[in-house]
Amino acid sequence: MTRSRVAVLAGALSIAFALSSACHTPPAEPAASESSESAPTATYVGQEVCLSCHETITPGLTAKYNHTVHSRVLSETHSELAARGCEACHGPGSAHVEAGGGKGVGNMVRFDLDSPEAVARINGTCLQCHNGGDRSYWHGGAHESADISCTSCHVVMENVSHDNLLAKRTEVETCATCHHIQYSRVYSNAHMPLRPGAFESSTASEGKMSCSSCHQPHGTVTESLIRNISTNDQCLTCHAEKRGPFLWEHSPVPEDCLNCHDPHGSNRRAMLKMQVPRLCQTCHVSTGHATSPRNPTDRFAVGTACLQCHTQVHGSNHPSGFALTR
Amino acid sequence: MRGHTRALVTLACGIATAAPAHADTDAGPIHLWGWVETGGRLVSDEHSGKFEEYRDVHEGLFGGGSVVVEDPDRAHFLRFGGFDVGEDDADYFFEGGRWGRWDVFGSYSQIPHNFSNGALTPYHGLTGNELTLPFAPPVDTATFEASVIGAAHPAHLGFDTGDATVGASFSPTSDSEIKASYRNIHRDGRRPEQMFYGFSNFVHYPQAVEDMTHQASADLGYSRDSFSVGLNYAASIYDNEFRAFQLENPAAFAGGSTLGAVAADPDNTAQLISLTSSAALPTSFPFRIAGTVAYGQNRQDQSFVPLTVNPILAPGPLPANDLDGDVRPLLASFLATVRPLPKLEVRGRYRVRDYDNHSDELLFTETSVADAGLAVETKQSYAPDYTTQKASLESAYRITSATKATLGFAWDRWDRSHEREVRQLDEYTPEVRLDTRAGSWARLRAGYSYRVRDGEHYDELAPFRVLEPGVIRPPLTPPIRKYDMADNERHTVHLLSQLFAHEDTDITLSGNLHVTDWDDHYGLVSDDGFDVGFDTTYRPHERVELSFNYTFDWIELHQRSASSSGTLEWRTDHQDIGHTGSVDVAFAILPDRLTFTTGFFIHQGNGETSTSGAPADAVDFPDIEDTLWAPTASLWYRWDEHVSFIARYRFEHYDQDDWQFDELGVTRGTSTVAGQPLITTNNDVFLANGVEDYDANIATLSVVFEF
C-alpha cells in the first residue's frame, strides 16, 4: 500500500468515524447499575445510612475509605451520579435496607464476585465514570476479552497501594498475580529497575519503573497493550538517543527493538535474547570473519564480541559509519 | 476481587506497611493525614556495583512519608511526600487541587544505574569527550602492556538519571478533561563503550553520558454515556552534550591511527498528534467502535562530524552537511466489538502503521572506517521505511453460562523498502481459546494459536545493491536467512488457571509454550520456549498467612552457520533456564499490635551456548550463571494509634559467572577466560569491569508516625 493511499484512507476513515460518533443516539445497552435486574422500587437512601450499618459490620471501614480519592469525588456534587456516594457504585439501597441487609440482598452491585455476568456488571459500573481516555480501547481489549473485572486489579475501599487503588502493594505485584513469567524475568541479571522491595523503599527495592511504564492494561491500539503507537516508539520514550533517524541505519533496529532485546529481562547482558557473537551470527555473514564460531578465548568472543568493533549497533551518524564502526 | 482475597490482601498490607486506619488529625481549619517514617540502616556491603545497580542502600539515616492536607470541606487538597529522602534513589511527589475537578502535580525520581565499582582505565579526561593517555606512545606489545597497566586507575562506571515531571489537569465538566505535562529526563555519568582502530586493536573505555530529553504532552478529552473523543499532542526533544568521542590509540604501532573518533547519538526531535474516539452505535444490540489516527514527524539534522580525525589524511568534501533526517510515522487503528446475539460476541480490528522515511540518501565516495586510511569506495546511505498492517477477526460464543469458546484469525503484512531482503511478508494466525469456570471456585483459560509466515522471494543481496551501487557481489556464503524475515511456523499454547478451593486459599497456575521452526537453512533454525508459574496464598488461621510462588522459565534456540567460505558447517544450541521462587509467612502475634513476617526469595539463571561442527573453534562457550537469594524478616509493633516501630533484616547473596567479563583485566596480558589466556595476539584495552559478587546484610530500625 503506497503512503499516499494510506494517508487518504486514514483521513477518510477518521472523518467518517468522527461524523458517525458525533451523530450517535443513546446506546442500546443499559448501564449496569440500572440493569433490568434492579428491584423496580429501589430508591437511594444516602451514604450515611450505608455507613451506619457497615461501619459496625467492618470497624475501620469509614476511616480507610475516607482516605481514598473516591470518598472525595463521590461526596460532592461532581455529577448527579457522584452525589449518590456509596450508591453511585453499589446501586440504590432502599430494598437492601428494608430487607435488613445481607450479601446480595436488594440486588446491590457486589464487587467480590467474578462470574461473567458479575464481571460485566462490575465493569459497567466503573465505566459509568471511568470511560473514555485510557479506557477507550477497554471493550475488545485483551483483559476485557478474558473476563477480567476492574476489581481483579483494583481495590476501591482503601489505599492498599500508594497510587491507583491497586489490589496489591505495588503495581508489579498486582500484575504478577497472573503474569508470572514476566515477573520472574524482572529478576534476571539483566533487567530494568522494576523490582519491588520486600519493605517499601528503605531496604531493597528498585521500584523506578512499573508495568504501566510501558503497558496500558485498559487497552490500547498496539499489540501487547503497549502504550505508544508501536513497541519502538514506547522504548524511545526513555531511550530517545536511539530514535535517529541515522545516516547509516541497522535495518532491524527501526523496525522492532525486540528483534534483539527481551524487554522484561534476560540472562544475557544488555537484555539480549542471545549471547553475542551468536546473536549477530544468526543474521550476518560475509565470506570472512562474521561466521567463524570463535573459541571463547578469542579476542572477538570475549567482552562485547562483535560490538567491540561494530560499536554503533543502533545506527551511526558518522560519514564513515556504513559498517557501524564509527 | 473475591472477598477472602481482599481480606488476605488487607492482612498482608497491614502487616507489611502498618496500614493507616484511623481518624484524621484536625490542625485548626485544615484536615491532615498521612504517615512519616524515619530510621537508621546498617549495611555490610556497599562496594559492589551490582548491589547498587539501581538503588542507593547505604548506612545511615533514611526516611520517607506521605502527607495530605485538606481544607475544612475536604474539597481541596495538597498531597506531598517522598521515599528514600536525601538518597541517590529518592522519589519526591506533590499533587494539589480540587478533588475530581483540577489539580497540579509534580514528581522527581532519581535513578542510579551502576555498572561497576571496580573498573580500571588508562584514559584521562573521562568527564569530556576527548580521552587522552598519560604515557608516550608505546613502540611494541611489551611497552604497550607496561604502559597501560601502569596507567590504569579506577573509573566508576555508572550514570544517574533524574526524571522530573510537572503538569496540570482540569475538568471543566464531569465529562471533559484538559491535561498538560512536561517531563525532563537528565542523565549524567559514564557507561562502558568500545572503539576500534582496525583489526590491529580495539579499546574499551568509559564514555561520558550527559544528555537531556524534554517531553511535553497535551490532552483534550470528552466523554459521556458511551461516547468519548480525545485529542493528544506529544513532543520530545533529545539533546546530547556531545557530538563525538575522540580517543588516543595506545597501540598505534600495530598499524592503526594515532587517533580515533566515533559519532555520538545525535540530537533529534519527535512530534505526534493523535485523535481517538469510541462510541456505542445506535443498534438494537451492543455495537461499539473505537478508532485512533495518529500522525507525527521525527527530525534529525545534526551536522556531520568529519570523515576522519586522522590528521595525516585529507578527505574531500562531504556530500551534505547533515542528514536532514525526516521520518513521518502514521497510525490508523480501528476496533469494533459487536454482540449480535446474547451468547455471541464478535471483535474485528484493523491497524496500519506507516514508517515513512523522507531522510536524504547520500552517496559517499570516500570512507575511513577505522581512521587509519582513506578508502576510495562508493557507499550509499539509505532511508529504510516500511508499512505494517494487521487485521483480525474473532468470535466468542458462550456455550454455557460458565464456558466461552473463541475462534479467531489474524493477518499481518509487512511491506518494506528496496534495501531489505524480503519486501512483502504475510503472517496468518488462526487461534482458538476456551474460558471456563467451575462454580465460584475455579476458572480456566486455555488458548492455542498457529502462525504461518510467508514472505515473497528472499533477495539476500538487496542491501548490498543499495549500499554499493554498481558493485556486483557473488552470492553470500553461507546463505543465511535473517530470522525476522525468513519463513517460519509457530505454535503457541497459553494456560491460566485460578483456584479458590477454600475461603482462605487462592491458587494461580499459568503456563506457556511456544515452538517456532524456520526452514533448515542457515541462520536461526528453531526457537522453543516453555514456562510454568505457580502462586498460592493460604490463611490457615486468622492470625497466619502463608504465600508461596515459583516460576520455571526455559528457552532454547538452535542456529546453523558455516565458516571459511561456507564449507565448514557448525551449529549452536542456546538454552536459558530460570528458576524464581519465594515463600513468605506473616504471623499476627498480637492482632493489630505485634506482627512478625519472614520469607525467603531465590532466583537462579543459567545460559548455555553449545557449539559443534567442523571448524576447530566450534566449541562450547562457558555457561553464564547468576544466583540471587535473600532471606528476610521483620517485626512490627504498634505502640498506639499513631506510633509504630518496625525492625527489618534482609540478607542478600548474589553471584554471577560471566566468562566474557569475569577475568578481563585491562590488557591481554592481565586477562584470561575460564583460566585460559586469550589465544589471539592483540593490543586491546579492556575495562576490568566484571560483575562484582556480593553478600550483604541490611538491617533497619524505624519509627512510623501516622496521623
B20 pLDDT exceeds 50? Answer: no
Which residues 171-200 on chain A approach chain B with CB closer than 8 angstroms?
176-181, 183-185, 187-189, 193, 195, 198-200
Q: Judge: B553–A223 Cβ closer than 8 Å, yes or no.
A: no
User: Given A184, A233, A300, which is nearest B580 (Cβ)?
Assistant: A184
Query: B230: helix, coil or strand?
Result: strand
User: Given A14, A78, A295, which is nearest B275 (Cβ)?
Assistant: A14
Give the separation between CA B533 and CA A320, rounded to whole angstroms: 49
pLDDT tens column, B237-292? 999 999 999 999 999 999 889 999 999 999 999 999 999 999 999 999 999 999 99
Q: Say if strands B522-541 and B480-481 run parallel, antiparallel, or are unpaired.
A: parallel
Other Cβ atoms less than 10 A from the Cβ of B193: the count is 22
Instruction: Give the distance from residue B136's alpha carbon to the nearest chain A alpha carbon, in angstroms.
Output: 24
Q: Say if strands B130-131 and B244-248 run parallel, antiparallel, or are unpaired.
A: parallel
Question: A104 at the B interface (CB within 8 A)?
Answer: no
Give the separation between CA B480 and CA B521, rounded to whole angstroms: 7
Minimal Cα distance from A7: which residue of B? B330
Task: Answer for the pair B488, B521: CB distance below 8 angstroms, yes or no.
Answer: no
Handedness of CA A222, A224, A227, A233 (dihedral sign): negative
Beta-carbon contacts of residue B311 (< 8 Å; ≥ 6 apart): B258, B259
Q: Which amino acid is at A262?
A: D
Q: Judge: A316–B263 Cβ closer than 8 Å, yes or no.
A: yes
Instruction: Give the distance from residue B657's alpha carbon to the nearest chain A alpha carbon, in angstroms.
Output: 11
Instruction: Find the mean pLDDT for residues B2-17.
Output: 33
Place of cell 588508562: B122
Considering A92-96, B5-9, B72-76, B564-568, the range whose residues carry the highest mean pLDDT is A92-96
Q: Which amino acid is at B640?
A: D
H-helix or E-strand spanning residue B351: strand B344-357
Nearest to B696 by CA among B655, B657, B647: B655
Beta-carbon contacts of residue B53 (< 8 Å; ≥ 6 apart): A193, B112, B113, B114
Task: Answer for the pair A143, A216: CB distance below 8 angstroms, yes or no.
Answer: no
Within 13 Å, how many C-alpha atoms sit on residue B194's CB side?
Answer: 25
- Worst-scoring range by mean pLDDT, A103-107, B93-97, B370-374, B521-525? A103-107
Enter the C-alpha cell of residue B537: 496464598
Instruction: Supply the pLDDT for residue B15.
Output: 35
H-helix or E-strand spanning residue B294: strand B287-300
Q: Judge: B617–A66 Cβ closer than 8 Å, yes or no.
A: no
Give the separation between CA A223 and CA B349, rounded to whole angstroms: 11
Q: Which of A9, A151, A178, A202 to mutate to test the interface with B (most CBs of B within 10 A)?
A: A202
Other Cβ atoms less than 10 A from the Cβ of B146: the count is 14
**How far is residue B3 from each of residues A152, B10, B140, B500, measured CA to CA in Å?**
11, 11, 76, 11
Q: What is the pTM of this model?
A: 0.91
Q: What are phi and psi of B426, to 5 degrees?
A: -120, 145
ipTM (interface predicted TM): 0.92
Enter the C-alpha cell of residue B120: 580500571
Instruction: Give the distance from residue B480's alpha carbon to the nearest chain A alpha carbon, in angstroms.
Output: 6
Q: Which of A282, A304, A314 to mutate to test the interface with B (most CBs of B within 10 A)?
A: A282
Give the separation between CA B463 and CA A163, rounded to whole angstroms: 49
Q: Judge: A203–B650 Cβ closer than 8 Å, yes or no.
A: yes
pLDDT tens column, B630-657? 999 999 999 998 999 999 999 999 999 9
pLDDT tens column, B378-423? 999 999 999 999 999 999 999 998 899 999 999 999 999 999 999 9
Q: Which amino acid is at B449?
A: S
Query: A125: helix, coil or strand?
Result: helix
Nearest to B288 by CA among A306, A138, A211: A138
Cβ-based burial of B363 (10 A; exposed 0-12, middle 13-18, buried ≥19): exposed
Q: What is the mean pLDDT of chain B?
A: 91
Average pLDDT per 10 consecutive residues for chain A, totaling 326 residues: 51 48 38 43 88 88 86 75 87 91 84 76 89 84 89 90 88 91 93 75 72 94 92 96 97 96 94 93 75 90 94 97 95
Which residues 257-296 on chain A approach chain B with CB closer than 8 angstroms?
259, 266-269, 273-275, 278, 281-287, 291-296
How many residues are given for chain A? 326
Tell me A191's DSSP state.
Answer: -
Give the separation between CA B597 and CA B544, rounded to whole angstroms: 10
**How far is residue A325 from each of residues A284, B264, B383, measured CA to CA in Å?**
15, 12, 19
Place of cell 430508591: A43
Nearest to B592 by CA among B551, B533, B542: B542
Beta-carbon contacts of residue A313 (< 8 Å; ≥ 6 apart): A250, A253, A307, A324
pLDDT tens column, B304-352? 999 999 999 999 999 999 999 999 999 999 999 999 999 999 999 999 9
Query: B602: helix, coil or strand?
Result: strand
Q: Judge: B533–A201 Cβ closer than 8 Å, yes or no.
A: no
Query: A241: helix, coil or strand?
Result: helix
Q: Which of B420, B563, B687 to mutate to test the interface with A (most CBs of A within 10 A)?
A: B563
